[in-house]
Amino acid sequence: MRKKIVAGNWKMNLAYNEAKELVNSLNQYQYPNQNITKILFPPQLYIQQLMNINSQFLIGSQNVSQYNNGAYTGEVSATMLTSINCNYVLIGHSERRHYFNETDEILIEKVKLALQNNLNIIYCIGEDLIQRQNETYLKHLSNQISYLYNNINKTDCYKISIAYEPIWAIGTGLTASPNQAEEVHAFLRNEITKLTSIEIAENTSIIYGGSCNAQNAKSLFECANIDGGLIGGASLKTEDFYKIINSL
């Protein structure tokens, strides 16, 4: 059975007091479905302190360096994350690809170091609006996912979940319809089957991100190949995020 995951990607938002308050208020709720892995990705600066709060949420890192250690000012390594028991990391988010020029080649270096350090990875992929409109999106997604699976060992695949985040839906209020999202998730599972094995594909969580909110989460999560969500804006609002988690 594959893991169900709802994760909040806070991006570069919230001062420390607001961050603590958000964790505390999310914690006041009861989450009936204990089988959902609930993760928060706060700014790196807060990771350790938020991990110290006795909470129902795992805390992960929005980023990790492609290097192991050394003279890389401002970077945080996979070894460092493991050393504070931070076990989840986002790799390949479209904002990192776009604003920080992270290519597939750089991302695979990050993946390899994260795996060596036993981190769980949520690997993000997604097409832009032009690729969606000119119908090259499946080819693009196939290239992104092939590059990942062609460069890792099959034995490591169980540490990886995929987030499908269409760039045109991120922060825009435009969501992929359940049909559009399910088409891609089913396609990706089939691609993973071809690249690895049916067993690995069936056990890989593929979650959706892109303007997922309290209103549309349920219809997305009902789709057979959607195993949860990676939530941006709506994860900053306690009640909305709580509702999204309970939609799964």
Q: Which residues does the annotation mark as catalytic?
A: 93, 165
127 binds ligand 13P (CB under 6 A): no
> Residue 174 in contact with residue 168, Cβ under 8 Å?
yes
**Of 48 and 171, which has the nearer Cβ to ligand 13P?**
171
Strands 120-125 and 160-164: parallel
Rounded to a whole number of angstroms, the minimum distance from the CB of residue 175 to ligand 13P is 8
Residue type (1 letter), 110: K
Measured distance between the N- and C-terminal CA atoms of the chain, rounded to whole angstroms: 15
Sole binder of ligand 13P in the list 86, 111, 152, 170 (CB under 6 A) = 170
> Residue 123 in contact with residue 160, Cβ under 8 Å?
yes
User: Taking CB under 6 A as the rule, which mask of x and - marks residues 92-111 in contact with ligand 13P?
Assistant: -x------------------
**Of 228 and 233, which has the nearer Cβ to ligand 13P?**
233
Rounded to a whole number of angstroms, the minimum distance from the CB of residue 210 to ligand 13P is 5
Note the Cα 68 to chain centre separation in Å: 22
> Residue 5 in contact with residue 36, Cβ under 8 Å?
yes
**Of 144 and 211, which has the nearer Cβ to ligand 13P?**
211
Sole binder of ligand 13P in the list 209, 221, 227, 245 (CB under 6 A) = 209
9 binds ligand 13P (CB under 6 A): yes
Sole binder of ligand 13P in the list 16, 84, 171, 199 (CB under 6 A) = 171
Q: Which segment (102-110, 182-190, 215-223, 232-240) binds ligand 13P by CB under 6 A? A: 232-240
Q: Which segment (48-56, 67-75, 110-118, 203-211) binds ligand 13P by CB under 6 A? A: 203-211
Rounded to a whole number of angstroms, the minimum distance from the CB of residue 140 to ligand 13P is 17
Q: Which segment (45-53, 136-144, 192-200, 227-235) binds ligand 13P by CB under 6 A? A: 227-235
CA distances from 64 to 25, 49, 86, 204 (A): 28, 18, 11, 22
Rounded to a whole number of angstroms, the minimum distance from the CB of residue 66 to ligand 13P is 20
- Write out the residues near ligand 13P by the rule CB under 6 A: 9, 93, 165, 170-171, 209-212, 230-234
